[in-house]
Structure 1
């Protein structure tokens, strides 16, 4: 299996990746094809595909903010069971992030991820791919070390229509396994930058950011 960096919207592998995203994720979670041009060219956004026998069978997008010392896992897609795609992507991603942190000269504090709450969502079959089932994904991420941040989380829809998506938890995998809290200002700074590409923010998102700014720290809870 190959781990291939995608940097051009015209790369045939990107078309296959985008099709896989549309198959797996709900529509509000998938950025339109043409809007991917700038993110793919952004050196701070890392998009890789897992290629098996010429086909894109998995993908991951993540980023590393050197000034904050944090990473964000945008998504991980497992398109086919029985190939060890999840472990392959996770290990390759961790090695790449370790290199990025070393180059920055600043240790990585941890990595954020948005995780569906399977107890709050309905009819999200995720393309019928069982490894992408929300219950499975949540347990896998728990095993990796992610924990839920203790506040009601919403995010702006990627369709940029000003709607709020509230069926996810924001989680964090601290580099220090003994960490029990994350500075709330760090969460607010990260979210403000991460969603700066979307102009239409729902009022509930703005209110959430304000509450974080007024708080000193946010607890890490089990998934």
Structure 2
């Protein structure tokens, strides 16, 4: 299996990648095709394919924030079961981040990820791909070591229409065993930086940021 990076919307593989996202994720979770040009030119944003016998069997996007010394898994898609694409992507993603840490003198403390709560988001079929089922995905993140940040989380729709995307938890994978909570200011700063690209944010999102501003620490809880 090969770990192949996508760096441009002109890459012939990008059209397939974007089509797969549209088939798997709800519309509010998918950035419009042409708007990917700038993110793919950003060296801190990483998009890779798992390719097996010239077939794309998995996709992952992630990024790192130099100022906050933290990473974020944007999404992972497994398109074909039984090949170990999930473990392959997780292993290669971690190796890439560790290499980037050395190259750029980073000291990453962990990685954020968003995950649907299957008890609140049971209507998401994710293109009928069984391994993308919310129950399965949540258990996978739990096994990888992710924990739920204990606060009510929403995010702005990637369509930039001002819709609030709910039924999600913001999670964190600590790279250090001593981390049992995160500063509320740190969490708020990361969220605001991450969604800075979207100009039209819903009231629920602003309410969440205001809530975080009144907290001291956000505890990490089991998924």
* Same fold by TM-score greater than 0.5: yes
**In the alignment, is residue 143 of structure 1 matched against residue 143 of structure 2?**
yes
**In the alignment, is residue 71 of structure 1 matched against residue 71 of structure 2?**
yes
Aligned equivalents of 2:113, 2:124: Cα separation in 1: 18
Kept after mapping to 1: 8 A contact 2:122/2:134: no
Q: Runs of 4 or more off by more than 4 Å in structure 1?
A: none
Aligned equivalents of 2:5, 2:164: Cα separation in 1: 31
Cα RMSD after superposing both structures: 1.0
Aligned pairs for 1:48-197 within 5 A: 48-197=48-197
Q: TM-score w.r.t. structure 2 length? A: 0.97
Give 1:13's aligned residue: 13
Once the 2 structures are TM-superposed, how far is the Cα of residue 52 of structure 1 from its aligned partner?
1.6
Aligned equivalents of 2:128, 2:19: Cα separation in 1: 15
Kept after mapping to 2: 8 A contact 1:64/1:100: no
Deviates more, 1:55-64 or 1:153-162: 55-64
Deviates more, 1:97-106 or 1:145-154: 97-106
> Structure 1: any 5+ residue segments left out of the alignment?
none
Aligned equivalents of 2:39, 2:54: Cα separation in 1: 24
**Secondary structure in 2 aligned to 1:118?**
coil
Once the 2 structures are TM-superposed, how far is the Cα of residue 19 of structure 1 from its aligned partner?
1.2
Give 1:202's aligned residue: 202
How many residues end up aligned between the 2 structures? Answer: 223
